[in-house]
A and B are shown apart, each in its own frame.
Chain A
Amino acid sequence: EDQVTQSPEALRLQEGESSSLNCSYTVSGLRGLFWYRQDPGKGPEFLFTLYSAGEEKEKERLKATLTKKESFLHITAPKPEDSATYLCAVAGRTSYDKVIFGPGTSLSVIP
Chain B
Amino acid sequence: ETGVTQTPRHLVMGMTNKKSLKCEQHLGHNAMYWYKQSAKKPLELMFVYSLEERVENNSVPSRFSPECPNSSHLFLHLHTLQPEDSALYLCASSQDRPTSSYNEQFFGPGTRLTVL
Contacts and interface: CB of A to CB of B under 8 A. Distances in A.
Contacts, number: 65
B110 A98 contact: no
A34 interface: yes
A97 B43 contact: no
A43 B4 CA distance: 10
Contacts of B109: 41-43
Contacts of B56: 96-98
Contacts of A43: 4, 90, 92, 107-110
B41 A97 contact: no
A101 B50 contact: no
Interface stretch (A13-21, A44-52, A58-66, A75-83): A44-52
B55 A97 contact: yes
A102 B104 contact: no
Interface in B15-58: 40-43, 45, 48, 50, 55-56, 58
Interface residues of B, number: 26
B115 to A, nearest CB: 18
A110 interface: no
Nearest to B94: A99
A91 interface: yes
Contacts of B98: 31, 91, 95-99
B106 interface: yes
Given A32-B103, A96-B56, A96-B99, 12 more contacts: A34-B104, A42-B110, A43-B92, A43-B107, A44-B90, A46-B104, A87-B43, A97-B50, A97-B99, A98-B48, A102-B42, A103-B40
23 contacts: A31-B98, A32-B101, A41-B109, A41-B110, A42-B109, A43-B92, A43-B109, A43-B110, A46-B105, A46-B106, A49-B104, A91-B103, A95-B98, A96-B55, A97-B56, A98-B58, A98-B98, A99-B103, A101-B43, A102-B42, A103-B40, A103-B42, A104-B42
